[in-house]
Amino acid sequence: MSYKNNILKKQLLKRIMPTINELVLWCEKTETPSFDQIENAVLYSSLKMRVAVAEMILNAQNLGGKFLNTSCPDCGELMHSKGQKTKIVHSQIGDVTVRRSYYYCKDCKRGFYPLDEQLELSGCGWSERLIEETLWLSKNVSNFELMEEIMNRIGGLTISDSTIWRQVTKLKNEANLPPY
Ligand SMILES: [Zn+2]
């Protein structure tokens, strides 16, 4: 295992350990749990862990100097990092914050985020998977309040009906699909 991934492994274990401890403590206190109780406890724990785990793996992409030799697509000169900015990505995991460095070419006066390109992030701030599932849901459920409730109850996501409406309308416009 590489040094970088060894660090990631330790950080991941450290991050999820309190939740696992909480779960084990719950098992100790609940000696004869029903399936329903176990389902609830595990769902609660996994919801707590999944965003944190995704963010740690995403942030690890910045380590190891991967982007240090980023060259300008126009003139080929070495670009310089101008610091990090965060971006929130709505995904099926939940709202995930991605930290990425901005690289700038002073000759061409242009810059970009190499990590965004690696991650193939779309400009709209939604993951491909969430877009796909939301569009599928919108074909079967025309009421955005109900879509919000389904995504929350089944998917554990908290996205408002107005945000879903805006995104679905935009995606359907782009794809020349009828609004309903
Ligand atoms: Zn340049």
* Residue 34 domain flag: yes
* Parent domain of 50: 3-60
pLDDT for 124 equals: 85
How far does residue 85's CA lie from ligand 1's centre (Å)?
21
* Residue 179 domain flag: no
Same-domain status, 13 and 53: yes
* Residue 102 domain flag: yes
pLDDT for 88 equals: 94
* Residue 169 domain flag: yes
* Residue 26 domain flag: yes
CB 21 within 8 A of CB 49: no
Same-domain status, 70 and 37: no
Query: pLDDT averaged over consecutive 10-residue blocks of the chain (180 residues)?
Result: 88 94 96 96 92 93 84 92 93 94 93 93 89 91 92 90 90 74
**Taking the C-alpha atoms of 10, 16, 22 and 25 in order, what is their torsion angle to the nearest 10 degrees?**
-50
Same-domain status, 23 and 48: yes
* Residue 180 domain flag: no
CB 163 within 8 A of CB 138: no
Same-domain status, 78 and 113: yes
How far does residue 70's CA lie from ligand 1's centre (Å)?
11
pLDDT for 127 equals: 94
Same-domain status, 141 and 96: no
How far does residue 35's CA lie from ligand 1's centre (Å)?
60
How far does residue 67's CA lie from ligand 1's centre (Å)?
16
How far does residue 55's CA lie from ligand 1's centre (Å)?
31
Same-domain status, 112 and 72: yes
pLDDT for 23 equals: 95
* Residue 142 domain flag: yes
How far does residue 107's CA lie from ligand 1's centre (Å)?
5
How far does residue 77's CA lie from ligand 1's centre (Å)?
6
The CA distance from 84 to 42, in Å, is: 35
Of 11, 28, 60, the residue that ends a domain is 60
Of 60, 76, 95, the residue that ends a domain is 60
The number of domains in the chain is 3
How far does residue 23's CA lie from ligand 1's centre (Å)?
53
Other residues' Cβ atoms within 10 Å of the Cβ of residue 16? 19
Of 60, 83, 106, the residue that ends a domain is 60
* Residue 112 domain flag: yes
How far does residue 103's CA lie from ligand 1's centre (Å)?
11
